[in-house]
């Protein structure tokens, strides 16, 4: 009876293990391991774990500090999630990196943990997840690729390319060397002009941006250019006639200039003495033109006219002229003379008293021109005096 109970208990235990997802010896809690004592658990997410198995070592700087506890596939992201337990004495940053490596060429796989190359941040703790993962090339993959190359793969194509290159370069070594030298010189020149090329590209980019901002204006100009070109096409006959007439005019003008060249040169040569005398006159010609304004008086005539009256006095006796032109009813003798400034004339004599017939009187003497003041005033002073004196009566004589 006891044996039957034992068998029944063993069957129930086996069924229980099968129902709980028994996965062989890895599902059983195995003693030992690299973590030992107190530890914390982290998870690393890999794209491919190759043939990594649970209880594989976890190393830091080639020192075993923990073990792989589980390997699970997550259908949500399609990646392998590897659980690890690590000694609590190992301190790593939160952004640590995990790499799947191999002890030897055909040795076992393990996970190597390391700090990032850049700045480390945070601290790796229980429940943390490492996303920065990678793996080294697998030996099986390497041999598989090598087998594909050696068995009619890219290696044969590489041999064909090498053969064709050798045949193309055969006997042309100097030309190829010269071409390579020129290419090297060209590339060196481009490298030395790198700043200018970058600046040109930047300016081209700025110019393209300006054109992009003016796209509406450019589109309008292109739309309006069509009617203008149509007008030019319609007036093509007139433009052709204009150009033909212009060509004919050019020929005639060239003929006239060629035919009259000698006369033109002679006229210019005859003009040289005139220009030479004009240049020699210097300031005399401008001074003569100044006298033209006050002609026939000198330009300082304004000094002789200090106000609104002329400073000259003239007296004329016209009695002898009237006596000569108009005979009186009683014979008289007209005598007298015109004097400047006197304003008087002699009385006529009765006939018979003088015993002589009256003769024609002499013409009056023209009075002398008084001396002009020295220095003579300028026309500008005369105009100022006239404007200052105002109307007649405003100044003295």
In this structure, are residues 321 and 361 in contact, taking their beta carbons and an 8 Å threshold? yes
**Rounded CA gap, 388 and 397, in Å?**
15
More confident residue, 324 or 343: 324
Residues 119-145: tens digit of each pLDDT: 888 889 999 999 889 887 777 777 777
DSSP-assigned beta bridge partners for residue 72? 81
Degrees to nearest 5, angle at CA 260 with 258 and 262? 95
User: What are the tens digits of pLDDT across the range 362-383?
Assistant: 555 545 545 544 444 444 444 4
Does the pLDDT of residue 111 top 70, yes or no?
A: yes
pLDDT confidence of residue 276: 86
- Number of other residues whose CB lies within 10 A of the CB of residue 23: 11
The SS3 call for residue 38 is coil
DSSP for 4-36, written as a single string: HHHHHHHHHHHHHHHHTT--GGGGS--S--SS-
The string of pLDDT tens digits covering residues 37-47 is 788 999 999 99
Q: Is the peptide bond before 375 cis (omega within 30 degrees of 0)?
A: yes
Q: Above 90 in pLDDT, residue 201?
A: yes
Residue 203 pLDDT greater than 90, yes or no:
yes
pLDDT-based confidence at residue 196 (cuts at 50, 70, 90): very high
The answer to whether the CB of 391 falls within 8 A of the CB of 308 is yes
pLDDT for the residue 277: 84
Phi first, then psi: what are they for 41, rounded to 5°? -110, 135
Residue 112 is predicted with a pLDDT of 93
Of the pLDDT bands very low, low, confident and very high (cuts 50, 70, 90), residue 396 is very low
> What sign has the CA pseudo-torsion 140, 144, 150, 155?
negative
Q: What is the C-alpha separation between 389 and 395, in angstroms, rounded?
A: 6
Instruction: Tell me what the mean pLDDT of segment 330-338 comes to.
Output: 49
- Is residue 60 within 8 Å of 113, Cβ to Cβ? yes
Average pLDDT, the chain: 75
Instruction: Report whether pLDDT(24) > 70.
Output: no
Q: Is residue 99 within 8 Å of residue 60, measured between CB atoms? A: no
Question: What's the pLDDT score for residue 21?
Answer: 47
327 and 313 Cβ atoms separated by less than 8 Å: no
Domain boundaries, the chain: 31-136, 283-309+369-397, 313-362
DSSP string, 342-396: T---PPPBPTTTSSS---PPPPPPPPPPPPPPSSPPPHHHHHHHHHHH-STTSS-
Higher local confidence (pLDDT), 214 or 28: 214
pLDDT the model gives residue 86: 92
Q: How far apart are CA 43 and CA 290, in angstroms?
A: 114
Q: Please report the pLDDT score of residue 229 as a whole number.
A: 87
Q: How far apart are CA 92 and CA 175, in angstroms?
A: 60
pLDDT on residue 343? 39
Q: Which residues contact 241 (CB under 8 A, 6 or more apart)?
A: none
Chain centre distance of CA 388 = 63
Q: What is the pLDDT of residue 141?
A: 74
User: pLDDT-based confidence at 48, cuts 50/70/90?
Assistant: confident
pLDDT digits (tens, 9 = 90+) for 69-110: 999 999 999 999 999 999 998 999 998 999 998 888 777 889
- The fraction of the chain above a pLDDT of 70, given in percent, is 64
What digits encode the pLDDT tens for the residues 236-288? 888 899 999 999 999 999 999 898 988 988 888 888 888 888 888 777 777 77
**Residue 224 has what pLDDT?**
87
Give, as one character, the DSSP assignment of residue 136. P
| pLDDT the model gives residue 199 | 93
* Dihedral angle of Cα 302, 306, 309, 310, to the nearest 10 degrees: -60
Looking up tokens 């003008």, which residue turns up?
A: 253
Stretch 176-204: mean pLDDT: 92
> What φ, ψ does residue 381 adopt, rounded to 5°?
-65, -40
Please indicate whether residue 361 or residue 143 has the higher confidence score (pLDDT): 143
**Regarding beta strands 133-135 and 97-102, do their DSSP bridges make them parallel or antiparallel, or are they unpaired?**
parallel
pLDDT at 315 (0 to 100): 67
- CA dist list (Å): 313 to 369, 374, 394: 10, 19, 19
Please state, in angstroms and as integers, the Cα–Cα distance from residue 339 to each residue in 86, 365, 397, following that order. 153, 7, 21
Q: How far is CA 261 from CA 102, 133, 252, 269, in A?
A: 104, 96, 14, 12
Q: Which one is predicted more confidently, 391 or 253?
A: 253
Q: How far apart are CA 52 and CA 46, in angstroms?
A: 11
- Among candidates 46, 82, 49, 87, which has minimal Cα distance to 66? 87
């Amino acid at each position: 009876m006891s044996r039957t109970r034992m068998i029944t208990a063993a069957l129930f235990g086996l069924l229980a293990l099968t129902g709980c997802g028994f996965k062989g010896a890895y599902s059983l809690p195995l003693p030992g391991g690299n973590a030992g004592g107190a530890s914390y658990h982290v998870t690393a997410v890999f794209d491919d774990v190759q043939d990594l198995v649970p209880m594989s070592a976890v190393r830091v700087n080639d020192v075993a500090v923990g073990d792989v506890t589980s390997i699970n596939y997550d259908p949500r992201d399609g990646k392998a999630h590897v659980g690890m337990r690590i000694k609590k004495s190992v301190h790593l940053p939160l952004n640590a990196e995990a790499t799947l490596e191999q002890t030897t060429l055909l040795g076992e796989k393990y996970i190597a943990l390391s700090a990032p190359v850049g700045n480390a941040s945070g601290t790796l703790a229980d429940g943390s997840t490492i996303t920065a993962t990678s793996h080294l090339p697998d030996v099986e993959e390497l041999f598989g690729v090598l087998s594909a190359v050696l068995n009619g793969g890219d290696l044969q194509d590489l041999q064909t390319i090498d053969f064709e290159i050798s045949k193309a370069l055969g006997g042309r070594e100097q030309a190829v060397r010269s071409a390579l030298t020129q290419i090297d010189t060209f590339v060196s020149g481009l490298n030395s002009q790198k700043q200018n090329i970058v600046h040109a590209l930047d300016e081209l980019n700025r110019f393209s941006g300006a054109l992009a901002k003016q796209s509406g204006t450019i589109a309008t100009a292109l739309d309006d250019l069509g009617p203008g070109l149509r007008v030019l096409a319609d007036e093509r006959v007139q433009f052709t006639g204009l150009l033909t007439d212009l060509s004919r005019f050019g020929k005639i003008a060239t003929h006239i200039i060629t035919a009259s060249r000698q006369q033109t040169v002679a006229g210019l040569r005859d003009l040289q003495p005139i220009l030479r005398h004009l240049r020699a006159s210097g300031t005399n010609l401008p001074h003569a033109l100044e006298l033209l304004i006050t002609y026939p008086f000198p330009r300082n005539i304004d000094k002789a006219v200090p106000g609104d009256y002329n400073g000259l006095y003239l007296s004329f006796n016209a009695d002898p002229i009237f006596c000569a032109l108009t005979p009186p009813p009683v014979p008289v003798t007209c005598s007298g003379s015109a004097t400047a400034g006197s304003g008087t004339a002699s009385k006529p004599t009765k006939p018979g008293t003088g015993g002589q017939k009256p003769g024609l009187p002499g013409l009056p003497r023209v009075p002398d021109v008084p001396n002009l003041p020295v220095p003579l005033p300028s026309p500008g002073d005369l105009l100022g005096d006239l404007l200052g004196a105002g109307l007649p009566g405003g100044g003295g004589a």
